[in-house]
Amino acid sequence: MADSGDYQIFEAGDVALQSGRVFPSLRLAYKTYGALNSAKDNVIVYPTSFGAQHSDIDWLIERGGALDPDRYFIVAPNLFGNGLSSSPSNSREQLGEAPFPLISYHDAVAVQRRLLVEQFGIAKIALVYGWSMGGMQAYHWAACYPDMVKRAAVVCGSARCSPYNAVFLEAVKAALTADPAFVDGRFTRKPAAGLRAMGRVYAGWAMSYEFYRDETWRESGFGSLEDYLAASWDTAFAHRDGNNLLAQIATWQNGDISRCAAFGGDLDRALVAIRARILLMPGQTDRYFDARDNEAELGRLVNARSAELRPIPSIHGHRAGNPVRIPADRAFINAAVSNLLQS
């Protein structure tokens, strides 16, 4: 374990990936909040989402909230490709000129499990909570380690990336890689134009029809739609590394809890393996992870201790699941997760 100031590094060593490649000296960055109790049963795992680092999601960790550091030991593992854990931007020394490999959610969750077991001696998890790509990780945790996970909250996520979701990501990749900095499969410099174009693609998908119809952006002080797009989306990914984003898009598109040796691609078999209490919380107007996917999954979680579908009643699309500045959505999530933790 290495300390990098605001976060720590778990040195996982040489890791054999699902793809068949071995990643040399794989590194998992993580941040902890609160204290582990003597029984080691107050653990919450809170993995990061697309392009995000632990500091981008810690708004939900607050005293008196659902993820209360005074009550729980919260571990926030940074998903590979986010610039802190092993990513294209920080792995050239290990990989040389070899392309950055596909790291699946199964690979990521397996290393996260090693962190909990080897570093902290944790055998039980009170809750795995995640939004978007974090929600997909929560689903993988519940399916792959059913004896370890007591509860899972999947917020604006699904058990696998749907074809519709994958097509959206193709549009994101096309916008990003159209930048002239993309040469021979990687960016040779910062793709400023590609990152702006990617933000404009995201703007149409991230928010809902109702959000734009009702000009809800005016509530944030914008005088025109163009002002909103320029300020909120042209710069949304400007601080991220283009190669890192492509690596995480690959993880996202290949996400499927059943895509492993244990389940052989059989989604029903993977869902039946889950025994935790499951809270599926799609955004009512989310276009990335459609609520219909969660509806279809709900009836197949037959061995879960309980399975509940609670759509977030919001016009904020995918952002309803990460409502840093949306009080109503934030209160809804806190209440739902608090109830789950009390069950």
CA distance between the termini of the chain: 34
Residue 329's nearest CA partner among 343, 312, 341, 317 is 312
Over residues 195-224, the mean pLDDT reads 97
pTM for the model stands at: 0.97
Identified catalytic residue from 86, 104, 132, 258: 132
Over residues 155-171, the mean pLDDT reads 98
Q: Which two tokens stand for residue 260?
A: 């492993």
CA geometry: angle at 294 spanning 290 and 295, to 5°? 105
Residue 210's nearest CA partner among 327, 313, 131 is 313
| Longest Cα separation, the chain | 55
The band of 316, judged by pLDDT with boundaries at 50, 70 and 90, is: very high
Whole-angstrom Cα distance, residue 199 to residue 233?
5
Residue 117 DSSP code: I
The pLDDT assigned to 143 comes to 98
Whole-angstrom Cα distance, residue 104 to residue 253?
10
For residue 208, indicate whether it is catalytic: no
The band of 264, judged by pLDDT with boundaries at 50, 70 and 90, is: very high
For residue 286, indicate whether it is catalytic: yes
Angle (deg, nearest 10), helices 225-232 and 192-206: 120
Residue 4 confidence (pLDDT) above 60: no
Rounded to 5 degrees, φ, ψ at 310 are -135, 85
The pLDDT assigned to 40 comes to 98
CA geometry: angle at 153 spanning 202 and 295, to 5°? 75
* CA dist 275 → 20, 158, 331 (Å): 29, 17, 27
The band of 252, judged by pLDDT with boundaries at 50, 70 and 90, is: very high
Identified catalytic residue from 106, 140, 316, 318: 318
Over residues 214-223, the mean pLDDT reads 97
Residue with tokens 């149409």: 204
The pLDDT assigned to 5 comes to 63
Identified catalytic residue from 286, 314, 316, 329: 286
Residue 174 confidence (pLDDT) above 70: yes
For residue 239, indicate whether it is catalytic: no
Q: Which two tokens stand for residue 27?
A: 């590194």
